[in-house]
Structure 1
Amino acid sequence: MVRWGLVSGGGDGAQFADAVKTAQAAEDLGFDTIWMGEGRLMGSIVPLMTMVLEHTDRLKVGTSVLPYRTRNVSLLAGTFKTFDEMAPGRAIMGLGAWWEPLASRVGLPNAKPLKAMREIITVSKRLLAGETVTFHGEFVHVTDIRFDSPHDDEGRVYDVPIYTGPVRFKMVELSGEIADGVALDFLVPPSYTVAAREALERGAAKAGRTLDDFGIAQLVSCAVDDLDPQQAIDECKFFLTQYIAQQPHITEFSGADPELVDQIQKLVPWPATASQVKEAMRLVSNEFTQSVCACGTTSDAIEKIREYVEVGVQEPILVPRGGRDLETATAIFEKGRLAGL
């Protein structure tokens, strides 16, 4: 049976309590992991991650993703050191690049992402392994540093796997070489996952290892409504339309027709209003939406998730749309378990 993950939204402080309750309910249901990230300028996910770790007992908590250049590497690794101290073996560091044009707008253009990711993972792993590190690269410069809490004097090792959130295949391949796992992105068909698995294997071969102990998770945008399947499809269609307009690195692998992409991008600026996205989503078909999202009836969603599992996904990470996160997650999880997933 597969592991099951669930994305939990952040939001403002007033919503933190609801997010913690969702994580607790997911743990009670049998979910394995809660994932949360900093995809836009919505604030830091660290306080919410801390709350979820504090108020759950078994659930692993991962970032999918933290933008890798927004924190000095010593602070980045130190944050996850702290998580492992408070909840041993339950934190997963998931790293990714901010997408353009946002990265450039905040002064961190996404230049040489492969080199940046390699340097950041290399140094983070060494710090978490209790080493004293000197490293001078293009993006990371540290000299003779180590963690220096009293219990670090003997080189304490922290059990923090490092995942990436790659999209393009060179980053996927690098992940297979140096990371502990991947959280592949959503809004891509299972054929993308097949190609990603091949890239992971190439990367692992470079490092002289296999994927036997490597985690392969995949975000899956989902919405279900057995009484009104079209409503569920439309929830995912809105999300898909917004991403086609604003995140070309995902659109590139979604299978979208270039003419459709051009039409949508003309209608939807960044940032966009909900009415602008709704206007553009009329151009997107149900067939295309269901090719990259688990939506419609609950059975439709299970069959789409099964497609990902059959090509190598070990942990489908549900990304519910439509504001009924726990209801959607419960319906899919329970029916998925009954279906043998």
Structure 2
Amino acid sequence: MSRWGLTVPMTGLPLAGHREIVESLPGLGYTDAWSAETNGTDAFTPLALASQWAPELRLGPAIVPVYTRGPALLAQQAATLADLAPGRFVMGIGTSSDTIVQRWNGIPFDEPYRRVRDTLRFLRRALAGEKVKEDYDTFSVKGFKLETPPASPPPIVLAALRPGMLRLAAREADGAITNWLAPKDVRTVRGELGDDKELIARLFVCPTDDAEEARAIGRWMIAAYMTVPVYRAFHEWLGRGEALRPMNEAWAAGDRRKALEAIPDEVVDDLVVHGSPEACRARVREYVDSGLTTPVLAVVPGGNLSPAEAVRALAPNAD
């Protein structure tokens, strides 16, 4: 297998406590570390630390919202990480969600497709060292130029959950990032992205033989995500709209308990990798066999394993 990533920071472990785990990753067969940005750490700080703790790893944010920082600041932060990890940094951008952008940050979630497209085009030019003076559809830049552009501009990948964004990634980006999908869904995504671009996916992995424990955790996670409009639309496109309709109706009515109970076991089993560490690794390989380039494991606490134990147990070299 060419790539095997880990999401950092891990749940339940302070960022400052990650050094030993991150340093161990290359020796265990991990090739990548990918951050996220929701309501915990920002996307860039964990990667800056990882760039020094494990210089062999490829690093990337999955993803940075295009709304919550100005275009120039995004270029500055991408250039900084590209300097810390030369040739090993990938810039992941996307819309994020209306919850994060509008409800939490007070920024209108307007024209998401165009905003991502415009940001991608701006970053291409800025990271190549150009002076950018351009009126894009969703913002204008008046003469920005990076003081020290990267010697090698980093690849840019797009968060893409539906055909329009996947086709944009295929045309103008270096790949796509997705999450919350089953192995069979990879083929649907590939149908829009094509076979030539890198496809990265965050996979939620709960290493426990207790299926009921894993499903209980998975139901809470699914309810939190799939009731957000962008993810609801994604799973309608993937064909889970009817299976998730009772959950969405109960959630909209304010009945959280009924919403959780309405999520079928088979949906949880589709979207959350769980079982023994051996079974989890085999399941991850099903994604790769279906066309996923880069699996990025997001370890969900389960099975009484510490974060370090889970990382070792789920490593590709554990076989």
- What range describes the TM-score normalised by the shorter chain of this pair? 0.7 to 0.9
Shift of 1:180: 0.9
Shift of 1:10: 7.2
- How large is the RMSD of aligned CA atoms in angstroms? 2.5
User: Residue in 1 aligned with 2:35?
Assistant: 36
| TM-score for both structures, normalised by structure 2 | 0.87
CA 1:327–1:36 in structure 2 vs 1: closer, same or farther (change >3 Å)? same
Is 1:192 the counterpart of 2:185? The answer is yes
User: Residue in 1 aligned with 2:277?
Assistant: 298
Query: What is the aligned counterpart of 1:181 among 168, 175, 182?
Result: 175
Unpaired runs of 5+ residues, structure 1, are: 202-210, 269-275
1:106-125 correspondence to structure 2 within 5 Å: 106-125=105-124
In the aligned structure 2, how far is the partner of 1:308 from the partner of 1:68?
28
Shift of 1:24: 1.8
Is 1:263 the counterpart of 2:244? The answer is no
The one-letter code of the counterpart of 1:181 is G
Shift of 1:169: 1.7
- 3-state DSSP class of the match of 2:117? helix
User: Residue in 1 aligned with 2:287?
Assistant: 308
Q: Deviations over 1:119-175 (max 9, x none)?
A: 1111111111122222111223123332224xx6xxx64331111111122111111
Where relative contact order (Cα < 8 A, 6+ residues apart) is larger, the structure is 2
In the aligned structure 1, how far is the partner of 2:83 from the partner of 2:316?
33
User: Residue in 1 aligned with 2:234?
Assistant: 253
User: Residue in 2 aligned with 1:3?
Assistant: 3
Does the 8 Å contact 1:37/1:63 carry over to 2?
Answer: yes
Is 1:221 the counterpart of 2:204? The answer is yes
Q: Percent identity?
A: 23
Does the 8 Å contact 2:247/2:259 carry over to 1?
Answer: no
In the aligned structure 2, how far is the partner of 1:198 from the partner of 1:285?
27
Is 1:284 the counterpart of 2:278? The answer is no
Q: Deviations over 1:51-103 (max 9, x none)?
A: 12122220111101111121121211111111122221122111111212332
Shift of 1:185: 1.6
Is 1:95 the counterpart of 2:78? The answer is no
In the aligned structure 2, how far is the partner of 1:81 from the partner of 1:26?
24
User: Residue in 2 aligned with 1:232?
Assistant: 214
Query: What is the aligned counterpart of 1:317 among 282, 293, 296?
Result: 296
In the aligned structure 2, how far is the partner of 1:102 from the partner of 1:70?
9
The number of aligned residues is 309
Unpaired runs of 5+ residues, structure 2, are: none
Shift of 1:11: 8.1
Does the 8 Å contact 1:98/1:110 carry over to 2?
Answer: no
Does the 8 Å contact 2:5/2:34 carry over to 1?
Answer: yes
Structure 1 stretch 231-240 or stretch 29-38: which is displaced more? 231-240
- 3-state DSSP class of the match of 1:217? strand
Shift of 1:237: 2.9
- 3-state DSSP class of the match of 1:147? coil
| TM-score for both structures, normalised by structure 1 | 0.81
